[in-house]
Amino acid sequence: MQEPNLQHLIVGDPAAHTGAPRRMAYWDWPCAAGDGRHVVVCVHGLSRQGRDFDTLARALSERSRVVAVDVAGRGRSDWLADPMRYQVPTYAADLAALLMHLRAQTPGAVIDWVGTSMGGLIGMAVAVQPALAPRRLVLNDVGPSIQWEALQRISTYLGLNPSFDSEQAAMDYLASISTGFGPHTPEQWRALSLPLLREREGRWWLHYDPAIAVPLKALTGMADQTAARQLARDGEAALWGLYDAITAPTLLLRGQQSDLLTPATAAQMGRRGPKARCVVFEGVGHAPTLVADDQVAAIRDFLWSD
């Protein structure tokens, strides 16, 4: 079975927690046929990492090069010295450096973007920059309006830094906080879970820096919840401004039972900005894992259509 190559790119500020030049990791799936000039950049959700896209990457690599990123603090990427820098502006700057690197590697490359949840927000920030904008944009279960209740739900488990006495116990825990992903076979769930785990001294830990939760908990844990909600609304207004400025053809994926992307927001995204075409998947909440055949096909058909 095809496997990706692990690559690293030195990125700039903010600093790594080690004090060394900070590295961002990405998983590089070479194109099986053709010249590799079509590149699909895949960016994961808040507590995930680049190997989430293995199934999609294997399908797309028949005709495209696929680059699946470990965002700062996750997977094989370095952790940050300042936890308050774990926010979209930092991630967007890192991905801008990667896009420039890819364009330098392959002049004239056609670059598309697939972003799940947080990865979609990063994609929106990148897509409004003419020098970086992807040709086509896929937003997986995310939009400018993010439900406050979903943020509170995520903050209850993000950054807890649990450890487990077995690999299976760790996978069971991940299943318990990922019910929105919908049904998966045991093999599919194992493939999605194992890259998220690190074994140290006989115990299993999650792959990410627990401090990635600091900015979110600073918001949802504010004593003045009215002020917190106002900050969230201000952020939403800024995101709508980004979305309205996007010109790339956009595909919006939504889980039917998503608590983060509402039907009303999805409908509004179909009327504003790039007027995204929405595909809804039954039996799934937040977020589609892009493992099921129909989810993979929706993206493949969108990116490979003339």
The tokens of 35 are what?
């010249």
Give yes or no for a contact between 205 and 198, defined as CB atoms under 8 angstroms apart: yes
pLDDT band with cut points at 50, 70 and 90 for residue 1: low
CB 273 within 8 A of CB 299: no
Q: Look at residue 221 in the predicted model and tell me its pLDDT.
A: 85
Residue type, 252: L
Pick from 40-44, 217-221, 252-256, 261-265: least confident: 217-221
Please check the confidence at residue 170 and state whether its pLDDT lies above 80: yes
Average pLDDT over residues 64-85: 98
Segment 285-296, tens digit of pLDDT: 999 999 999 999
> pLDDT for 47-68, tens place per residue?
999 999 999 999 999 999 999 9
Count CB neighbours of 108 within 10 A.
7
Range of weakest confidence among 83-92, 144-153, 200-209, 293-302: 144-153
Instruction: Calculate the CA dihedral of residues 162, 163, 167, 170 and round it to 10 degrees.
Output: -10
Q: How confident is the model at residue 89 (pLDDT cuts 50, 70, 90)?
A: very high
Which residue in 95, 98, 117, 115 sits closest to 46, CA to CA? Answer: 117
Tokens in use for 220?
């949802």
What is the reported pLDDT for 2? 78
For residues 143-147, average pLDDT? 92
What percentage of the chain reaches a pLDDT higher than 70? 100
Summarize pLDDT for 225-268 with one digit per residue, the tens: 888 788 888 889 999 999 999 999 999 999 999 999 999 999 99
- Average pLDDT taken over every residue of the chain: 95
Residue pair 217/159 in contact (Cβ under 8 Å)? The answer is yes
Q: What is the mean pLDDT of residues 169-189?
A: 94
Reported as a single tens digit per residue, the pLDDT across 99-140 is 999 999 999 999 999 999 999 999 999 999 999 999 999 999
Q: Which residues contact 297 (CB under 8 A, 6 or more apart)?
A: none
Backbone angles phi, psi at 214, to 5 degrees: -60, -50
Which residue type sits at 301? Answer: D
Q: State how far Cα 163 lies from the chain centre.
A: 24
Evaluate the omega torsion of the peptide bond into residue 287 and state whether it is cis, within 30 degrees of 0: yes
